[in-house]
């Protein structure tokens, strides 16, 4: 049987991708498992962070391994103010030579939820500065609409707190966001396993960005494969259109011609 | 030239007049593909590294990409 894959691509700004899964480069047991996991996931977009240089580093750096194979998406993880996030994005553009940025402005250490006020300000400044901005944001339709109106190339609402593996805490909001969005909706954060990714895609999300669920799985390479398939299955199911939910049974075998009746 | 700088959040005295001299004295490979520098909150483009003079009290950030989610 031939493998059916979704024919339509994920288009963000001026780029199109065959895979709707975007993947992080952190927390893997080692570099080889990271490379094998990314390959197994089918992802074409890989995120990196920007940090102060460590000259004692040694060994091949992650960016050297990834840069020529994948579309690199730097993030502003760890930034708590619009000012720091904007400078981090500008440093990322200088370092990597890309104007794409996964914009994170964190409001709280414990939840890692976004600071909406700073996020909107940073997004506006970066869009004006020519960036392709992909903001990590709350699962709030109004915030997502404002980010799209500012000119962000996608919105990336969280499914659950970063690294929590809780799945989709508010699928109904995500459905509203998908329904209203004028830009691609990518669920970023909270995915725990392949079914979470599939459910998000079935709701109509355009893509999934995750890291921990693969990198911290017992077998990251196998989970990467599962996530890739989960995203594809969910997308296909969304396109196919699910049947309505009913409280009572509706027989699938013919009701006429049953013996003894 | 001895300068009092803040380098990646640390106050230090260094012997460097330009960004390029600072990178070399810090042991940073200035030919490395993915290094970026900011001075006082603004990116200092690579093309300016050899000519851009640093001054006392300048706040310098030297960064590169690392693993991230």
CB contact under 8 A, A55 and B27: yes
CB contact under 8 A, A211 and B43: no
Q: Looking at residue B30, what is its pLDDT?
A: 81
Q: Averaged over A195-204, what is the pLDDT?
A: 97
Cα separations in angstroms, A155 against A172, A205, B60:
16, 10, 32
d(CA A101, CA A85): 10
Of A24, A34, A53, the CB nearest to B63: A53
Q: Which residues of A touch B (CB under 8 A)?
A: 24-28, 34, 47-53, 55, 61-64, 67, 72, 74-75, 77, 83, 87, 90-96, 162-163, 211-212
A55 pLDDT tier (thresholds 50, 70, 90):
confident
What average pLDDT does the structure give for chain A? Answer: 94
Lowest mean per-residue pLDDT among A5-19, A160-174, B9-23, B30-44: A5-19
Only one residue has tokens 């593996």, namely A165
In SS3 terms, B2-69 reads as: EEEEEECCEEEEEECCEHHHHHHHCCCCCCCCCCEEEECCEEECHHHCCCCECCCCCEEEEEEEEECC
For the question of residue A128 being annotated catalytic, the response is no
CA atoms within 13 A on the CB side of A110: 0
Backbone angles phi, psi at A187, to 5 degrees: -75, 120
Of B34, B35, B67, the CB nearest to A25: B67
Check the CA dihedral A35-A40-A43-A47 and report its sign.
Answer: negative
Residue A6 has pLDDT above 50, yes or no: no
Lowest mean per-residue pLDDT among A102-106, B1-5, B42-46: B1-5
What ipTM was predicted for this assembly?
Answer: 0.95
CB contact under 8 A, A94 and B69: no
Q: What is the pLDDT of residues A89-128, one digit of tens each?
A: 999 999 999 999 999 999 999 999 999 999 999 999 999 9
Residue B27 has pLDDT above 50, yes or no: yes
User: Is A52 in contact with B61 (CB distance < 8 Å)?
Assistant: yes
**Which residues fall within 8 angstroms of residue A247, CB to CB, at 6 or more apart?**
none
d(CA A257, CA A237): 33
Q: Averaged over A239-251, what is the pLDDT?
A: 94
A23 secondary structure, DSSP code: E
Of A47, A52, A55, the CB nearest to B63: A52
Q: What is the pLDDT of residues A121-154, one digit of tens each?
A: 999 999 999 999 999 999 999 999 999 999 999 9
CB contact under 8 A, B69 and A96: no
Nearest to A84 by CA among A126, A146, A23, A127: A126
pTM equals 0.92
Helix (H, G, I), strand (E, B) or coil at A8: coil
> Residues of chain B with pLDDT > 90: what percent?
88
């Amino acid at each position: 049987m031939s493998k059916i894959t979704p024919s339509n691509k994920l288009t963000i700004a001026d780029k199109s991708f065959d895979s709707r899964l975007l993947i992080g480069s952190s927390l893997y047991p080692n570099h080889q498992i990271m490379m094998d996991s990314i390959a197994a996931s089918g992802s074409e977009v890989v995120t990196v962070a920007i940090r102060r240089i460590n000259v004692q580093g040694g060994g091949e750096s992650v960016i050297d391994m990834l840069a020529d194979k994948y579309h690199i998406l730097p993030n502003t993880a760890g930034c708590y103010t619009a000012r720091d996030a904007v400078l981090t994005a500008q440093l990322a553009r200088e370092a990597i030579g890309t104007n794409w940025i996964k914009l994170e402005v964190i409001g709280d250490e414990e939840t890692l939820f976004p600071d909406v006020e700073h996020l909107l300000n940073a997004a506006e400044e970066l869009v004006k500065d020519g960036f392709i901005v992909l903001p990590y944001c709350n699962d709030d339709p109004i915030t997502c609409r404002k980010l799209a109106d500012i000119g962000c190339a996608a919105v990336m609402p969280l499914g659950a707190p970063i690294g929590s593996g809780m799945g989709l805490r508010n699928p109904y909001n995500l459905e509203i966001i998908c329904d209203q969005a004028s830009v691609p909706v990518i669920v970023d954060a909270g995915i725990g396993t392949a079914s979470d990714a599939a459910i998000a895609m079935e709701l109509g999300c355009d893509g999934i960005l995750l890291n921990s669920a693969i990198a911290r799985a017992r077998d990251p390479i196998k989970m990467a494969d599962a996530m890739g398939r989960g995203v594809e299955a969910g997308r296909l199911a969304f396109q196919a259109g699910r049947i309505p939910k009913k409280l009572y049974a509706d027989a699938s075998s013919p009701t006429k011609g049953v013996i003894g009746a | 030239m001895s300068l009092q700088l803040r380098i990646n959040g640390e106050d230090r005295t260094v012997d460097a007049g330009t960004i390029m001299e600072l990178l070399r004295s810090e042991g940073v490979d200035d030919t490395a593909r993915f290094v970026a520098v900011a001075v006082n909150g603004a990116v200092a483009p690579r093309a300016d590294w050899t000519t851009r003079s640093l001054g006392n009290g300048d706040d310098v950030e030297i960064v590169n990409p690392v693993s991230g989610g």
